[in-house]
Amino acid sequence: MGALVGLGLGVGMLLVWSAFFLPRGIRAGIATGRGEGRVARLLARAGLVEVSATGFLALCAGIGVVTAFLIQVVSATPPVAVVFGAMGAYLPVAILSGRARRRQREFAEVWPEAVDNLASAVRAGMSLPDALGALGTRGPEALRSDFDRFALDYQVSGRFGDSLDRLKVRLADPVGDRVIEGLRVAREVGGGELGRLLRNLSGYLRDDLRTRSELESRQAWTVNGARLAVAAPWLVLLLMSFQSEVIRRYASPGGVVVLVVGAMLCVVAYRLMMRIGRLPDERRILS
């Protein structure tokens, strides 16, 4: 009976934890069944558009179940197994979010160079679609595959606007949105201001990158400190799982209360530190 009570409290703690730690889109999907679109956008931001949202959520659930099973075998303590199962289920989300942030940072670093290449190509007399397609061979390495697919797409369809829309979907990048929409307007309006627009855009992107890099470097100690403070007690709990006499105390009602209170304190402290050090996220436009 005590194990069932502990398991029930552990599931409740998992729900509380997911309300704070899972991205809002995934929480909405769990609650309403309509979250796959937001999960798909997270996958796109990470450059994994070929991975389905359903498959990713199934992976999270599978890792959570396997982790919980392994911890249960080691510790024979259901509440502890549920806690680490929840952490295991969140692990793919954390990895994916980190990959998306690194990809976005990498794109922000190379967009000024890409815009400079476009300006040079336009100045040399190339049309805008050809200049964009040329980035697939001589542009920054991080962008080459996407622009190479744009060139192929434009050759097949001949529709510049539709090809730009598909390029935006593949990039899934706020800076890329601004660049692409600026090029779209320049293409539709016409005139001889495209070169000046590209030069001004390149300067703006460099200033924005410089400012954001300085802020992120100052933010790093806050983020790393928050993560270390949250991870430390759970690493200790994981090591204690190999000591059966000690860890089984968490199967009692008092032990479950300790786990629940500790988890709630970690959640509140982590969210508070992340809010203090948070930078405003760039939002995508016309996506």
Domain ranges of the chain: 2-104+220-250+261-276, 106-209
Note the pLDDT of residue 67: 93
pLDDT averages per 10-residue partition of the chain, 287 residues: 50 51 43 59 85 91 93 88 89 90 88 88 84 88 90 89 89 87 78 74 85 78 79 88 83 86 83 73 67
Query: pLDDT tens-digit profile of 242-269?
Result: 888 888 888 888 888 888 888 888 878 8
Number of Cβ within a 10 Å radius of residue 7: 16
d(CA 1, CA 279): 47
Length of the chain equals 287
d(CA 71, CA 11): 15
Q: How many CA atoms lie within 13 A of 195 on its CB side?
A: 9
Query: pLDDT tens-digit profile of 25-70?
Result: 444 343 334 445 778 888 888 888 888 889 999 999 999 999 999 9
Note the pLDDT of residue 192: 62
Of 176, 177, 186, which is closest to residue 285 (Cα–Cα)? Answer: 177
110: which 2 tokens? 């190379």
pTM of the shown model = 0.73
Note the pLDDT of residue 42: 86
Distances (CA, A) of 28 to 35, 38, 244: 6, 9, 38
